[in-house]
Chain A
Amino acid sequence: MNARLVRTVLGLLALLALNMLLPRALNPYFFQILILCGINVILAVSLNLVNGLTGQFSIGHAGFMAIGAYTSAVVSMRVLPGLLDAMTAAGVPLAVGHGVILLLATLVGGALAALAGLAVGLPSLRLRGDYLAIVTLGFGEIIRVLILNIDAVGGARGLSGVPNYTNFFWVGLWAWIVIAVSYHLLGSTHGRAMLAIREDEIAAEALGVPTTRYKVTAFVVSAFFAGVAGALFAHYLSYLNPSTFTFLKSIEVITMIVLGGLGSVSGAVLAAVALTILPEALRAVKEYRMVIYAMLLIVLMITRPQGLLGTGELKMPWSRKKAAPMPTESAS
């Protein structure tokens, strides 16, 4: 337990140090790609909880991201500026004040996304089969059209002027949290219950796993982190537009976790980073960019249909010996 506290503190310090260092060391273009990598990691790893570990098929992740993005933006733009003024007046450093506002906005955005997840998941996850896919597909579109028609958040014009509070520290911290939560779950009886549902729902139920409760819980947690990713996204770009959160965004996240290997946390991380960098790296070949992107995906699907890592995990030299949650077919 003590070693864990030390690890946590060291990790936080490292994040703070990198937060100071990176914006100066990298040019703004690379730094932006780095931040987007982090946000996509949060999205992919959180979706992996539902699609990868619990074996349900959700295709509405962009909807939850949108809820988190818009809610947090409204919170920090309309509700909390007063708090920032009060904190500055009380002598709190500006960076800390921004951090507090961002944290609160992120939590509210995540909470609302989680609530939406509960509302969507409760009816559709009681059933077995593809109902969730259909419902989440509809849900994502409903959210987008809803935002498009709410004038208070800019409608089709988009919402500009979101305070630019997201930095490397917060993106890194949340990515760390969602990855840690995934691994912790995998090492616990609750994560195993999720895997059991993926493997055989009827057997899981017969062995005493309350399947509906686990499916809904995983879905709500996943929605929360999608909301968090949305909030970080909003406070990084300072501008939101409903067209960012289309069905295609959801598919993009699904592509990441399928490519990484459904169920593999490190695979999701790896693929999220790769698929964020790849389109940028391919800018050099201009009009062939999307052709090559698609071709690479097809080649990967043919050569590694189980995804980059299959259901296995990358073994880090520093990972503890007992952290072998899955029977790894060695990740060659």
Chain B
Amino acid sequence: MNQQAGAALSLDHVSIVFGGLKAVSDLCLDVHPGELVGLIGPNGAGKTTVFNLITGVYMPTSGTIRFGETVLNGRRPHTICHLGLARTFQNTRLFAGLSCLDNVKIAAHQHAKSSYWDGMWATPGSARDERAIDEKARLLLDTLSLSDVADTRAADLPYGRQRRLEIARALATDPKLLLLDEPAAGMNPQETDALMHLIEDVRKRFALAVLLIEHDMKVVMGICQRIAVLDYGVKICEGEPAMVRRDPSTIRAYLGEDVA
């Protein structure tokens, strides 16, 4: 991994226009290797759109998105994932009908060396892949304390653990950068606390950079090293939590007076 000055992810004057609406406007944002960056802003500010731009769901109208040296513009989402970018979704998108173990196994898919043909005939190569994938998936479930529900359908999990499973699934792709879209949404304070520790822990253990969208200011201010504030698709502020907390434009657009 390149630990030098080069950013892991860099958005260079990125904009996207939907009809007459400029959802993201001229956004510049860098995430360095190993860094935890928060992305905050009021509802509809374009935070999730930024995630969709990075992961290839949308193509930017203008500007360049780079991951390391690779330009991401116009790449299919699955190839972007192969580069080492994994995400979770705002409204969890688990494979609801499949077991938790299978959910994680699917994400480990890209490391399988055997072909579809091998799979059709259950060749020794395919069996080897299965053993490796199984081992890896179980290890991840264990790391995220989900091993007890390995065989439970994802849909039957309580909400907090579904969020956890989504993170486990994203980690199974061996990411260098993890994009978390409101991981604490709908969690109770205890779950939120546990999640904060989890994110920190996972980031250190897997040497990840994390870009985090979150409305829970306790989480964002507590663990982010840097925060970018988005309002109407425009970055209005960027800096360390202490500085963002006092920034007048951020207070006006999002935080409100009492937090400050």
Enumerate chain A interface residues (CB-CB to B < 8 A).
1, 181, 184-185, 187-193, 195-196, 199-200, 202-211, 217, 221, 311, 326-327
Contact = CB atoms under 8 A, between A and B. Distances in A.
Given A189-B105, A196-B106, A203 B86 contact: no
Interface of B: 55, 57, 76-78, 81-82, 86-87, 89, 93-99, 102, 105-110, 112, 114, 116, 118-122, 124, 126, 129-130, 133, 151-153, 169-170, 172-173
A206 B77 contact: yes
Given A189-B133, A199-B96, A207-B86, A217 B109 contact: no
Contact of B95 (A185, A188, A195, A205): A195
A196 B108 CA distance: 12
A181 B121 contact: yes
Identify the interface centre among B96, B99, B106, B129: most chain A CB within 10 Å of its CB: B106
A302 to B, nearest CB: 22
Contacts of A203: 89, 93-95
Nearest to A186: B119
A207 B107 contact: yes
- Best-surrounded residue of B116, B129, B130 (most CB of chain A within 10 A): B116
Given A200-B94, A207-B169, A184 B119 contact: yes
Contacts of B93: 200, 202-203, 206
Of the candidates B78, B130, B133, the one having the most CB atoms from chain A within 10 angstroms of its own CB is B78
Contacts of A195: 95, 98, 102, 106
A204 B119 contact: no
A209 B173 CA distance: 10
B134 to A, nearest CB: 10
Contact of B120 (A1, A185, A311): A185
B119 A191 contact: yes
B105 A211 contact: no
A192 B130 CA distance: 11
Nearest to B108: A189
B82 A208 contact: yes
Contacts of B86: 206-207
B106 A205 contact: no
Contacts of A196: 95, 98, 106, 109
Contacts of B173: 207-208
A202 B57 contact: yes
Contacts of A217: 116
B97 A206 contact: no
Nearest to B130: A188
Contacts of A185: 119-120
Given A189-B105, A327-B151, 15 more contacts: A185-B119, A189-B109, A189-B114, A190-B119, A190-B120, A193-B109, A195-B95, A196-B98, A203-B89, A203-B94, A205-B78, A207-B169, A209-B106, A211-B78, A327-B153
A230 to B, nearest CB: 20
A36 B124 CA distance: 34
B72 to A, nearest CB: 13
B12 to A, nearest CB: 23
Contact of A208 (B57, B99, B109): B109
A155 B91 CA distance: 55
A228 to B, nearest CB: 14
Nearest to A211: B78
Contacts of A209: 78, 106, 109-110
A286 B235 CA distance: 76
B81 A208 contact: yes
Contacts of B76: 205, 210
Contacts of A181: 120-121
Nearest to B81: A208
15 contacts: A188-B126, A189-B114, A192-B102, A195-B98, A195-B106, A196-B109, A199-B94, A199-B95, A200-B93, A204-B95, A206-B81, A207-B107, A207-B170, A207-B172, A327-B99
Nearest to A329: B153
A184 B112 CA distance: 15
Contacts of B78: 205-211
Nearest to A214: B116
The 3 closest A-B pairs by CB, nearest first: A188-B119, A199-B95, A208-B81
Contacts of A208: 78, 81-82, 107, 109-110, 173
Contacts of A210: 76, 78
A193 B103 CA distance: 10
A129 B54 CA distance: 24
**Max count, chain B CB within 10 A of own CB: residue among A188, A207, A311:** A207
A184 to B, nearest CB: 4
A192 B122 contact: no
A7 to B, nearest CB: 12
